[in-house]
Amino acid sequence: MMKDKKTLNFIEEMEKVADSIIKVGHEPQVLSEIQQDIHKYDISDKDHFNIYIKQSYSSEDIENAIVHLEQIRMATEMLLLRSWKTFRADKFTFIFSSTLNLIRWNLLKQEYKEVISNSEHINIYIEDAISENPDNFNIISLICDIFHDELLAKLELGKSVESNLNILNDYIQFLIVAAAKDKHKLNAALIIGQIADTLSSKQMYYNACSYYSSSLEIISHVKNIDNSSKREFAVFLGHYNIAMMNCEPKDWNTIKENINKEVSLYEEVDKIYGDVRSKIDLAIAYSHQAIFLEKDKKIKEVYVCHLKKIQLIKESFFLENQDSEYSVEARINSLINSMQPIINYIVVSNSNEKILALENIIYILDSILSKEYDIKVLQYFTAFAMEGFNSSNNSKAEFFLFKKINALLKLIGLFSLEEGIKDDLKKTIEVSQLFVKRNWHKLQQQNRESWINANQIIGYKNNIDYKQKIISMIKKVIRW
């Protein structure tokens, strides 16, 4: 395609500038400035599809980054073409890194065709760059990252990716060769794992498993893994387990072995960090273990996994958290997903096992509700408490009964006498009245007060003024 006169004049001017820079020996300084400029627009460590990342940049920010990166790449290409012999490794690196950053900003903009166009743009440099720098892991990994993001863009456009997978496989081989050197193993394994994650997110589980396997094989030969990398590979191991469980036929022996490794690795990570992320990641690992155990109908073992999971979620609520991925809502939803396996175990347990299980879950949910109030959690809490009352002897029955009554009183303090809460409280009083009458002298003083308050609320339910006084009194009495 013929270039217009304006473009030709611009190229000619750029050539003159490049020649002048080279002639006076200023290439090192200019390349250093180029490196700094590329770094300004580097978002390679961010999730480009994370809505919180998108919201942190305006459309003007994105356009500005794209224009500047295009200029930076053009300047670097001109220096390479006008002086092929000097600083080639640096020039190739900056061409690829500016292209990768261009791609990442276009992903933020959801301009997937531009991503593909920019990826194709570097094809003319790849063969020379690798043949001249076969041991330069930075260049190899940049190329792999570019092709990974091209694959991601094609997936977003709904295109067939088989040909692109073949291209990726070629560059994965370079990574595997580079990983023969200890200093490159971790980075190579991370890049391959990231590719596997992308494929798995698009439900291409069979292809994903192949990449996960390659990643974990490389990491298995690393002698000393830093804490951050341990965490990343635990994530890949968990994702690999999910991908394998979505493949047919399933290799259950490998899945079992990998799940045990996942749990052990996350337990180690939790000891190191002890933060919200490590708690929830370990909780998810126990979920994976539970999924495996469910296939053999091991109800008690499944219950134990889910109890460990919700205990970890409980612990997370008492830690500071600034990670949007582990929001309160996300953790509550994860907690709720574990309720049915708890119920399944309670239903089939003998009397002693049932009471112990109900006590365990009541203590954990009670602790969570003291920190994070949630109506769904409260509903399970009151249901478990009532089941405990109906299944217990005198001392345990008091414990369970007043856990429920105090929870309902708190609800009334928060929402007043809504119909459902009033009916539940009334029914609870009717069911437990004989028990309380027989054991009144044995009840703890605070439980007697709660019982009196509950009866007064039901007895004066039509007196609005008095009801407000009762509610006010409850708020002072209840210690959640």
Taking only the tens place, the pLDDT of each residue in 30-55 is: 889 999 999 999 887 655 555 455 66
The residue with greater pLDDT, 297 or 477, is 297
Q: How many Å apart are CA 96 and CA 2, to the nearest integer?
A: 26
- Least confident residue range of 68-72, 174-178, 189-193, 375-379: 174-178
Q: Given this model, what pLDDT does residue 321 score?
A: 81
- Least confident residue range of 194-203, 231-240, 317-326: 317-326
Task: Describe the chain by its helix, strand, coil percentages, rounded to 5.
Answer: 80, 0, 20
- Least confident residue range of 187-196, 285-294, 318-327: 318-327
Q: How many Å apart are CA 195 and CA 213, to the nearest integer?
A: 12
- Least confident residue range of 271-275, 346-350, 413-417: 413-417
Condensed to tens digits (0 to 9), the pLDDT of residues 362-398 reads 999 999 999 888 989 999 999 999 999 999 877 799 9
Q: Residue 51: helix, strand or coil by DSSP?
A: helix
Q: Given this model, what pLDDT does residue 330 score?
A: 92
Which percentage of the chain shows pLDDT scores above 90? 50
Average confidence score pLDDT of the chain: 86
Q: Given this model, what pLDDT does residue 162 score?
A: 74
Quick check: 239 and 212 in contact, CB under 8 A? yes
The predicted model gives 351-357 an average pLDDT of 94
The residue with greater pLDDT, 44 or 261, is 261
Q: Given this model, what pLDDT does residue 3 score?
A: 53
The predicted model gives 193-204 an average pLDDT of 89
Using N-to-C axis directions, what is the helix angle for 88-108 and 112-121, rounded to 10°? 170
The predicted model gives 148-170 an average pLDDT of 81
How many Å is the Cα radius of gyration of the chain?
31
The predicted model gives 61-90 an average pLDDT of 90
The predicted model gives 338-351 an average pLDDT of 94
- Least confident residue range of 59-63, 79-83, 410-414, 471-475: 471-475
Nearest to 251 by CA among 190, 204, 209, 308: 209
Quick check: 278 and 312 in contact, CB under 8 A? no
Which residues have a Cβ under 8 Å from the Cβ of 167 and sit 6 or more positions away? 147
Q: Given this model, what pLDDT does residue 181 score?
A: 79
Q: Given this model, what pLDDT does residue 7 score?
A: 60
Sign, CA torsion 438/473/423/333 = negative
State yes or no: pLDDT of 480 exceeds 50. no
247: region left, alpha or beta (phi > 0 left; psi from -120 to 50 alpha): beta
Quick check: 256 and 225 in contact, CB under 8 A? no
Q: Given this model, what pLDDT does residue 465 score?
A: 44
How far is CA 303 from each of CA 333, 354, 361, 369, 477, rounded to the nearest angstrom? 17, 12, 11, 21, 35
Quick check: 126 and 142 in contact, CB under 8 A? no
Q: What is the DSSP string of 95-143?
A: HHHHHHHHHHHHHHTT-HHHHHHHHHHTHHHHHHHHHH-TT-HHHHHHH
Condensed to tens digits (0 to 9), the pLDDT of residues 427-473 reads 999 999 999 999 999 999 999 999 999 998 887 443 334 445 455 55
Q: Given this model, what pLDDT does residue 367 score?
A: 95
Cis preceding linkage at 249, omega within 30: yes
State yes or no: pLDDT of 311 exceeds 90. yes
**Residue 153 is encoded by which pair of tokens?**
């863009």
The predicted model gives 244-268 an average pLDDT of 92
Residue carrying the six token digits 């049915």? 340
Q: Given this model, what pLDDT does residue 47 score?
A: 59
CA 247 to chain centre: 22
How far is CA 464 from each of CA 94, 421, 426, 467, rounded to the nearest angstrom? 74, 16, 18, 5
Q: How many Å apart are CA 96 and CA 89, to the nearest integer?
A: 11
